[in-house]
Amino acid sequence: MKISGFYWCLLLATSFMSHAQQTPVVSILKRFELKNTSIRAIEVVNDSTVWFAGSNGKYGRIINDIVEIDSVRHEGRFPHFRSIAFNGKHIFLLSIEDPALLYKIDPSLPLGNAALVYKESHAKVFYDSMRFLDRDHGMAIGDPVENCLSVIQTTDAGEHWTKLSCDLLPEVHEGEAAFAASNTNLALIGNKIWIATGGKKARVLSAERPYEQWTSTETPIVQGDQMTGIFTIDFYDKNLGIIMGGNWNDKKNGSRSKAISHDGGQTWKLTGTDEVPGFISCVQFVPGKSGKEILAVSTEGIYFSDDMAGTWVKIDNKGYYSLRFADAKTFWCSGDQEIVKIKI
């Protein structure tokens, strides 16, 4: 059927308006104030429970909108936590600086039962992120203390942790490390792992269990300075992945801050525009949306895409460090002295 130019314009305008109306509206369900701690690590256990770990040794959980909080002290000081993980039975907390301390917590017991299961002392030690593949197999990654990233793993549900030899891992470039921005520069699906790096080099390192053969992939994300590179990575499935970051010292600049992969991280292609968003510390695919819908946060606000990162819209000005989904409509955000439950 032939359509006149006027009706083509009308159809295009209607399509645009329809798309604009689909932009989600953010509704704060509950805000929890957590004084004297900065929280970059959260773990959603179920629809009513979220665990968190922050600075000054503080950790805890929110169950049915009730906050329980405690703190860990080691040899007279409070460690700073940037990583948290759940293997289906226990919660694990990992601190950043020397000495790196990894604690196991039994959620069935009251807070205060943290058991130290791994300790690493080195002037350069700095752990960034931790995840579990399943109940038995978990991994944490950190900045290099030798000529490779620090990678520790467990194969017995977190009872014992061992460090991978640099002989098995790709050599890092000078000035290349990882960022402890949101506990999301490590992604795991099935038996595969992806690690995102930043600094003077921004790459994605990947391997499959038993992690003896690693692939190093160059990315187009901005790099070259200490605070540039990939800050966060997420995979929807074994093929579709996204990396985001940018320049922490130029947070408004969205140039080369986001890229997407359709081949399991073998190649990465820049996506979106240079304007929105700029710097991002955490990105997550919306569950159950076939990889089309994505949410991202930083101290600059909350951003949303419904076309697989092709275009973005800012949906809230309030800034956060990290986010995790409870379901496709509900997510948690953490920031400076607060955790927020949000509906979209």
Amino acid at 138: G
Two tokens, residue 28: 């704060």
Sheet holding 58-63, edge to edge: 66-71, 58-63, 49-54, 27-46, 330-343, 322-327
| pLDDT at 23 (0 to 100) | 78
| pLDDT at 275 (0 to 100) | 87
- Placement of tokens 């990889």 in the chain: 291
For position 325, which CATH number holds? 2.130.10.10
For residue 12, tell me if it sits in a domain: no
Using only C-alpha atoms, the chain has a radius of gyration, in whole angstroms, of: 20
Two tokens, residue 139: 């991994």
Query: pTM for this one?
Result: 0.92
For residue 16, tell me if it sits in a domain: no
For residue 13, tell me if it sits in a domain: no
| pLDDT at 22 (0 to 100) | 67
Burial 229-241 (b: 16+ CB within 10 A, else e): bbbbbbbbeeebb
Residue 126 is part of which domain span? 25-343
For residue 275, tell me if it sits in a domain: yes
For residue 219, tell me if it sits in a domain: yes
Two tokens, residue 175: 């000035």
For residue 73, tell me if it sits in a domain: yes
| pLDDT at 24 (0 to 100) | 85
**Distance between CA 194 and CA 179 in Å, rounded?**
14
Two tokens, residue 213: 């053969």
Q: Look up residue 124 and give its DSSP letter.
A: T
Quote the strand ranges of 258-300, DSSP E. 258-261, 269-270, 282-285, 294-298
- Placement of tokens 């169950």 in the chain: 63
**pLDDT 10s per residue in the chain (344 long)?**
433 443 333 333 433 334 443 678 999 999 999 999 999 999 999 989 999 999 999 999 999 999 999 999 999 999 999 999 999 999 999 999 999 999 999 999 999 999 999 999 999 999 999 999 999 999 999 999 999 999 999 999 999 999 999 999 999 999 999 999 999 999 999 999 999 999 999 999 999 999 989 999 999 999 999 999 999 999 999 999 999 999 999 999 999 999 999 999 999 999 998 989 999 999 999 999 999 999 999 999 999 999 999 999 999 999 999 999 999 999 999 999 999 999 99
The dihedral sign for the CA sequence 130, 120, 230, 248 = positive
Q: How many domains does the chain have?
A: 1
For residue 4, tell me if it sits in a domain: no
Angle, vertex CA 300, rays to CA 334 and CA 15, nearest 5: 105
Spacing of C-alpha 211 from chain mean position: 21
| pLDDT at 106 (0 to 100) | 97
Q: Look up residue 232 and give its DSSP letter.
A: E
Is 184 in contact with 132 (CB distance < 8 Å)?
Answer: no
For residue 217, tell me if it sits in a domain: yes
| pLDDT at 6 (0 to 100) | 39
